[in-house]
Structure 1
């Protein structure tokens, strides 16, 4: 993906479809539309998956909570959502096997009755999933559960095992955008819609401002599709101020603990909390993510951050399920995201459905893809592009169900050994390259023929200098945070180490992007200040905060 070339195409071409928002649904819609032969522009005011789509629990699932509610309340809408999620789970894993894989999840229970209840529910969950490649669940004895996850509480009676999918959300969204680009879409990040131009009340162009240069471009298209998630109302009202608001934002946060917290490849589902939610503790790389919360959120102009009360809540929630309780001082980072829940008559955000809707405003002509969740992004995109085809009077069939994303086709994890032999790189580096770039790992490894690019940035992580160069040249990374928070996931897992590596990343980017020394220093300082703010706002230890400064 070449940002400069794509900016020029934005200026010069007229499109069938302009998609606003390059998270899961927007990038998925861009790929779907490009594969159908439409002329597509995909723009985002920030980076790809810069907001909600990079801050999920990293699960591909039908939703155990939704299944329980569907049964208790005989709610067919929730049951339909579970079925959709489980059907898409296998597709998400199939199309990018380097970024998604099955995950074993244990649910500790404290009585025979509770174990039977969970077993029946999760057996039904397996039955709804049909004949996919994930293993089926089972009810484990206490000894069997401790063998798989030795840090579980000894107070449990037994545990129920089931499987869902796990994925790297930010890189999955990037792969969607990258795949759309290779299918012919014009893809540009840091391009914000500031207004629309209209003719007889209907949109015929979006005024788009480059967030680095301040330059504006009129992007001309026949149809405009709003895929901005929790920010959808701002785009809808920009197109037509008379519309009612449809989105009720909900904030969810995670805390990040050392991998030793679980000391296992098995995740934990905590099925009941003090306020009726479910919480997961999930191994992800060398950390454990614990989340999520679910609370109304109103200040959409501010990035959601981890608050001290949320840290306390999640530590208290996980406490009864572990033999050794994590301390606040062990929290190494955290992250918050905003769910785009569709307004309904339901009383609170925990019971709002996360199913999706395609809305067509006949006054302005704007299409908006509302609601939804990560697992069903492909169906959401397909529904939206079906509608686009009708508006264009040029319908075509979706082909995304069997379309491999960038890095996914003919992927074999075992090829890391070939990389090691061919490029003489450490085993952990080659394994990381395969899991991160799939069949494009060779392109990264080839850069290490320039010896300095083969160097690791730090002994504790497998990241190498060549990756930063590749991410700038091929993945449209333009800030240190693009690299450290999304193309790698280091910001999510360790604020302190992220701050330490920011100067090295900025140095590599400065060479590639021809930054001045003053601009490079500004980038480093601004990012480190942001990380320091996250830590301070979370109320973490003084010693950790001091380490950043």
Structure 2
């Protein structure tokens, strides 16, 4: 009898865990295996506590000087550009990648953080009988599985709940979810299901359940986009590529036959120019693809004197906001399948907060770092209020940003001077396009984060077909390789970190989920001294010895200062291993602090700048310039108007 109850309670516990959307593992221990030292040694591989840093920026620049000709020059260091660099380098090509600012500085850091097939595209494919839409879904579902496999530390399975408030919609949504599972085939993550009203409110008590009937649940992937981008860049370097941020392409090099032979780039840190020649040149600049195409149209490879309307990219802006964790279940997202204007809106747990978005507004041209409008922020909050039982408040917005989507079309079919903002972007499929000009410039644009790997593979396949590299090369390797940090990673890695380094769970999960098996490199720095254990919000901060009034005014020693898991050790790691060059690189893209909590990010600027000034030997003028650059960027990230004015920099 007792055996029956033990068996039944185990079944119920496993069932409850599965229904809640969490992964579970049933472990069977025997005395012999539990005490077997050899078994434990084989299963728990030792931490990598030391690693030679990648080539310094200076040595990479020396490599550029000494290389007469690369096989491939990639312009653009976003998801697609770094993906192309990894694919080409792992096939045996000599690759140089140039990024104007920082990896993921634009679109690639401002996504919805989902590795997904696109449930809305599936709905359109069925009702519009569109094979193109269906192919896009199936392609993305396959690539979703690849992201989860190649970067297991950065990507995880996320259940997504669709609250249903009308009985007739339950079979409709459930059928759609099951079709989504079916088209994923063997790559399906977990089976979709239906939750009762009681189960739904137990998992998501913040939901308004007054008219709730049930909820349909399907599964997709969630990931950290900017960290994924940086990881791709470092992986490319590990495979021999020359990867440089803050290198701006000023001119394409042309032959007498008007063929592209490379580019002239300026090091934005020193102002020095570099002539970089290559057999093949790839334009992977996302929303700015037309800028390079305009250079390509000029016989001398120079940009036009007057601004042009984009012909290839149809830019649109999408706004996201970040809210406190109580707006969404901890391990399950919410989906609003049909907003008033026909869009799909997500509310997703991400990095300990809740990510909500997105809007869709057409633009005349792609602009750098667009600011989210109050109207767009309120639009998202108003949609969320339809589901939340308590008042959704503007002051709860921790951060907000606007990103540019590079929706594309064939530029050869578009007349010059056509304003792209005169038509809606909703009808455009987010597939990608590879376009080769008569000069040999290869442009890859469009698509989405989930399909970056396949886009890169197709681009390099195109290069191998159209250019002679003078030797036999390997086939595509990117379905087999594991990105840096994912090697030997296990889902219980955070527990191992806690056991070895005696750190809090929040810090262990943050490091394991963003750095994977490279986390011990950070924690070795963390244990060196007490300074390295400090939150970056307090690092180098003068408020440790200020007057009482200044501490009270800026609230710099609040609990929130210790609530974010970003430490001085993580900053120092990023300087040594990830080509962090400015305070903004770390605050916005390596650590994501600006995207998670803009107010705390503003407080962190001074300390981070002080530490980087010491590390790099900056003079006071450069440190001040980079400090203000970071503060101005963060000040545009949706900080509520009611916030302390002393935090927001005054700009002219």
TM norm structure 1: 0.95
Deviation string 1:503-528 (CA, Å, 9 cap, x unpaired) is: 11112212221112332233223322
Quote the residue 2:5 is aligned against: none
SS in 1 for 2:212: coil
Deviation string 1:303-340 (CA, Å, 9 cap, x unpaired) is: 22110110111111122122123111211210111111
Quote the residue 1:74 is aligned against: 129
Quote the residue 2:602 is aligned against: 499
User: Is 1:262–2:328 an aligned residue pair?
Assistant: yes
- Please report how far the alpha carbon of residue 299 of structure 1 lies from its aligned counterpart in structure 2 after TM superposition: 4.1
Quote the residue 2:228 is aligned against: 172
Alpha carbons 1:16, 1:392 under 8 Å: kept: no
Alpha carbons 2:321, 2:356 under 8 Å: kept: yes
1:188 to 244, 261, 266: 244
Alpha carbons 1:535, 1:545 under 8 Å: kept: no
User: Is 1:9–2:88 an aligned residue pair?
Assistant: no
Distance verdict in 2 for CA 1:355–1:102, change over 3 Å: same
Mapped to 1, the partners of 2:447 and 2:636 lie a distance apart of 31
Quote the residue 2:462 is aligned against: 387
SS in 2 for 1:470: helix
Specify which structure has the higher proportion of strand: 1
Mapped to 2, the partners of 1:223 and 1:75 lie a distance apart of 35
Structure 2: runs of 5+ lacking an equivalent: 1-53, 300-307, 415-419, 537-560
Deviation string 1:318-373 (CA, Å, 9 cap, x unpaired) is: 221221231112112101111110137995201101111111112x2100002111
Mapped to 1, the partners of 2:425 and 2:224 lie a distance apart of 25
| Mean Cα deviation higher: 242-251 or 378-387 | 242-251
Deviation string 1:66-109 (CA, Å, 9 cap, x unpaired) is: 00111110010000000001011111011111100000100011
Mapped to 1, the partners of 2:391 and 2:183 lie a distance apart of 35
2:294 to 226, 234, 237: 237
Mapped to 2, the partners of 1:32 and 1:293 lie a distance apart of 33
**1:352-371 counterparts in 2 under 5 A?**
352-362=428-438, 364-371=439-446
Mapped to 2, the partners of 1:58 and 1:302 lie a distance apart of 20
| Mean Cα deviation higher: 82-91 or 144-153 | 144-153
User: Is 1:479–2:582 an aligned residue pair?
Assistant: yes
Quote the residue 2:447 is aligned against: 372
Mapped to 1, the partners of 2:269 and 2:346 lie a distance apart of 38
2:372 to 287, 300, 306: 306
SS in 2 for 1:496: helix
2:191 to 115, 136, 151: 136
Deviation string 1:382-436 (CA, Å, 9 cap, x unpaired) is: 0000011122335541010121000001112433344344444434323322112
Quote the residue 1:212 is aligned against: 269
Quote the residue 1:317 is aligned against: 383
RMSD: 1.9
Alpha carbons 1:423, 1:448 under 8 Å: kept: no
- Please report how far the alpha carbon of residue 298 of structure 1 lies from its aligned counterpart in structure 2 after TM superposition: 2.3
Distance verdict in 2 for CA 1:418–1:160, change over 3 Å: closer
- Please report how far the alpha carbon of residue 133 of structure 1 lies from its aligned counterpart in structure 2 after TM superposition: 5.8
Mapped to 1, the partners of 2:385 and 2:395 lie a distance apart of 15
2:146 to 88, 91, 99: 91
| Mean Cα deviation higher: 157-166 or 416-425 | 416-425
User: Is 1:399–2:474 an aligned residue pair?
Assistant: no
**1:219-234 counterparts in 2 under 5 A?**
219-234=276-291
Mapped to 1, the partners of 2:327 and 2:504 lie a distance apart of 27
Quote the residue 2:573 is aligned against: 470
Mapped to 2, the partners of 1:477 and 1:132 lie a distance apart of 36
SS in 2 for 1:542: coil
TM norm structure 2: 0.81
Quote the residue 2:104 is aligned against: 49
Find the structure with the greater CA-based Rg.
Answer: 2
Mapped to 1, the partners of 2:641 and 2:601 lie a distance apart of 17
